[in-house]
Structure 1
């Protein structure tokens, strides 16, 4: 199981919070698409979502938190299909490569929102587990599988390697954006190079 199992059925109060959060995110992204991310204010988002400003700020203190919520919701929604696709691949390393190819395709579609997301994410590197995307957990599961199969070294532990890989992944995104981040298809190559570096280092070891 590469992705965490679905959460237990939420309580009525949790469902209410989820519905309010989803309404705010949907309203915000409609405004972003129509007017541009930079020009939209939190006050406009509150009005479009029909919530009080205090309610909006209780859910999302800044616009970047709304983008994070959308990205994490998209990942959760895609998880079952991605899980099924990865399970068909013959090796754990192949699964890592395919996961990053799928991530690159999504990130290229969302390039207009990536810089604020990354600035928010990297300004808070030690966020609580509940605020994380879950990507690091997926990396850890795939790395643990690769170690169990003897595809990569058994040490360091999978959780430690996943933490390193997560920040290499974020760094590759930053580099791609700094290089322009415009041409479709370039990010998949950036991720492939990053993964090769992670797997084989810079010592010239054979691949």
Structure 2
């Protein structure tokens, strides 16, 4: 039987629904029990799926955590679009995103170290279909903001926006690591520092 054109779309929607169901189920367990206490077997049981189904979609607990955090970031970024559009400079736009990110991270510090470990170890490796190999939708946000800054003449255009976004994303991850490992450090302050470093280095001369 020849597949109809709609079938791949339905399969993809079902796959995404399964990913989201598994991630939401895991997130509830992470929040109620702690990340360390939750096992893949418990996630499969709570989600009412076979362990094989869970492993077909996520190879590790860290991958589920990363998918959930990335989905949270994507939702928050969508809600920021109006505020970002009202910003008139590249610095103001990227500071808007970083401010929102700091707020979320400060509410979920217990999950961030495992998330960062997974992201840093999987740099360049393909993630679930439809995701970026260098991390999350926030990495795509850096690229879009940098491209807009290049178009406005605020940032130099010699390097591709994707390359500059990768460099900024590494600064972002480094700031998070410093904050997690240094008691009393201000995450907002770390983000201001990397913004200053990046803008001064990438500014159009």
TM-score class normalised by the smaller sequence: 0.7 to 0.9
Equivalent of residue 81 in structure 1, options 75, 79, 89:
79
**2:146–2:161 CA contact under 8 A, matched in 1:** yes
Residues in 2 aligned to 1:95 and 1:143: alpha-carbon distance in whole angstroms: 10
1:150 CA displacement:
2.3
Equivalent of residue 164 in structure 2, options 147, 161, 170:
161
Q: Secondary structure at the residue paired with 2:163? A: helix
After TM superposition, the score normalised by the length of structure 2 is 0.85
**1:93–1:151 CA contact under 8 A, matched in 2:** no
State the partner residue of 1:33. 31
Residues in 2 aligned to 1:138 and 1:52: alpha-carbon distance in whole angstroms: 35
1:173 CA displacement:
0.8
Aligned counterparts, 1:1-207, within 5 A: 11-128=9-126, 130-132=130-132, 133-180=136-183, 186-201=186-201
Q: Secondary structure at the residue paired with 2:36? A: helix
Residues in 1 aligned to 2:189 and 2:125: alpha-carbon distance in whole angstroms: 29
1:188 CA displacement:
1.3
Residues in 2 aligned to 1:95 and 1:75: alpha-carbon distance in whole angstroms: 16
**1:95–1:142 CA contact under 8 A, matched in 2:** yes
After TM superposition, the score normalised by the length of structure 1 is 0.84
**1:169–1:191 CA contact under 8 A, matched in 2:** yes
Matched pairs, number:
190
1:198 CA displacement:
1.3
Going from structure 1 to structure 2, the CA distance change for 1:166 and 1:23 (only over 3 Å counts) comes to same
Select between 128-137 and 51-60 the one with higher mean Cα deviation.
128-137
Residues in 1 aligned to 2:110 and 2:163: alpha-carbon distance in whole angstroms: 31
Residues in 1 aligned to 2:36 and 2:13: alpha-carbon distance in whole angstroms: 30
Task: Please report the RMSD computed on the Cα atoms of aligned residues, expressed in angstroms.
Answer: 2.0
Quick one: higher RCO (CA 8 Å, sep 6+), 1 or 2? 1
Residues in 1 aligned to 2:71 and 2:169: alpha-carbon distance in whole angstroms: 18
**2:91–2:199 CA contact under 8 A, matched in 1:** no
Residues in 1 aligned to 2:153 and 2:36: alpha-carbon distance in whole angstroms: 48
Select between 186-195 and 148-157 the one with higher mean Cα deviation.
148-157
